[in-house]
Amino acid sequence: MAAACVMVLGTTSGAGKSWLTTALCRYYSNLGLKVAPFKAQNMSNNARVVEGIDGAWGEIGSAQYFQALAARAVPEVRMNPLLLKPEADTHSQVVLLGQVSEPLTALPWRGRSAVVWPQIAAALDQLRAENDVVVIEGAGSPAETNLHASDIVNMRVARHANARCLLVTDIDRGGAFAHLYGTWALLPEDERALIHGFVLNKFRGDASLLAPAPQHLQERTGVPTVATIPMQWHHGLPEEDGVFDDRSTTPGAVHTTVAVVAYPRISNLDEFQPLKNVPGLRLQWVRSPADVAGLRPSDWIVLPGSKATAADLAWLRAQGLDQAIAAHAGQGGTVLGVCGGLQMLGEALIDPEGIDGNGPGLGLLPLVTVFEPAKTVQRTAAQFGPLAGAWAPLSGVAACGYEIHHGQTAQHPAMAAKGDVAREVMPGIAWQNPAGNVLGVYLHGLFEDAAVLHALFGAQAPTLETVFDGLAEGVTRHFNPGVLDALIA
């Protein structure tokens, strides 16, 4: 018998679809059911390495990775069969069932739908055959009528799975009831029938003041408002698309600022979420030299991953951040580069195949990166060798994470011949400068490793299991009684 399907749609991007889908995955798993998440198409540069087809590693959106963990399922590529990784405002790399597809990347947006839908439908059907419940996440809004004919992620999926849908809106932005009504009204009649409940998310204030709006909305649509979920700054999941802000900072006295450079094609920001949960740490964006002007040497500057390393490095220079980062490093300040950030820290980017772009690096590590057509996509477990300076606590620590990169990095041969050699503290994966304050790593997900957090900060962030159970408890409390169980009856 095919699994029951519950689908979370949103009136806008950022309404709370990913968060609510994750919570429902744990809620239904807690009932003893076999649960899997699904999102037909995700557009994000936040990706995870998971089990692929025929034993190969593959990529899916980070949201579906966390949803699988919440469902107590092994994350795999069928849970997000199509992943679009933006490389420019009008161009994305297309990943189908975990693997980069150059032919699909070259296709026009509208022409792609007919090609990929059979594989998307097959992935969903397979998950339905293997599970009791599939919790499906939509994308953007289902009422974008310009996209309806080529839709492969919202109502076409809902119709295919005969899913019972929840429509969630961000009431903190205002206009929530208009968003809900307008979205419902723009759907065809057969698709309206699939909407079983409205959800008000990110509510602040006295819920009794909402009346009589929910009643009026139900009178017009026949759809009840089944939950009012309060604003939650500290739920413990990465924010949608990895975004964070000062309002979600861990309470208490701040002893260390972690300043993350927010270049335009930033990727895999979700891996820094555990730092938000460490008492005394503050994460902040860096977009200009003024943002790092007050940092102390003990504070960090982080160059995160990038989907377009050469272009983001050029942007960084245009802002004057190259000099600001060099000045921080020059006074002994702590600097970390992850993946694309590691490549930026080196002496040069060399791109003979036209993969990313050529350019000089920041020169903080005597390394050179060559971009190759073959993409490294793998889970990795390795142990740090001896480190010096600010990173010394990581010496001997075993860490698990994942790699996603076209670049291959090595010692700069001419500099090495003159004795200027970076300390290779994890073979082929991590390098440190002689002074000990600059570290570059290819390993994503370091801060999700409890041993790494404890070594660096002597602290332990809440585990993901604790986070998932908290999310499930929240939806139990804020949904009307019986609604969630009725969706799968």
* Contact between residue 175 and residue 206 where contact means Cβ atoms under 8 Å apart: no
Based on its alpha-carbon atoms, the radius of gyration of the chain, rounded to whole angstroms, reads: 23
- The amino acid that residue 419 corresponds to is G
Query: Could you say which of 179, 406, 412, 444 is catalytic?
Result: 444
Query: Could you say which of 328, 339, 412, 478 is catalytic?
Result: 339
Rounded to 5°, angle at Cα 245 from 239 and 249: 95
What's the CA gap between 183 and 194, in Å, rounded? 13
Gap between the terminal Cα atoms of the chain: 13
Short-list 130, 132, 115, CA closest to 81 = 115
Residue 469 phi, psi dihedral angles, 5° rounding = -65, -35
Short-list 355, 392, 393, 394, CA closest to 374 = 355
Residue 329 phi, psi dihedral angles, 5° rounding = -65, -35
What is the side-by-side order of every strand in the sheet holding 82-88?
A: 41-43, 82-88, 91-96, 99-100
196 given a catalytic annotation: no
Kindly compute the dihedral angle of the four CA atoms of residues 331, 336, 342, 348, in this order, to the nearest 10 degrees.
Answer: -10
Residue 33 phi, psi dihedral angles, 5° rounding = -90, 155
* Contact between residue 440 and residue 431 where contact means Cβ atoms under 8 Å apart: yes
What's the CA gap between 445 and 399, in Å, rounded? 9
Dihedral sign (CA 464, 469, 472, 477):
negative
3-class secondary structure, 119: helix
What's the CA gap between 408 and 486, in Å, rounded? 52
339 given a catalytic annotation: yes
User: Residue 474 CA to chain centroid, in angstroms?
Assistant: 22
Active-site residue list: 339, 444
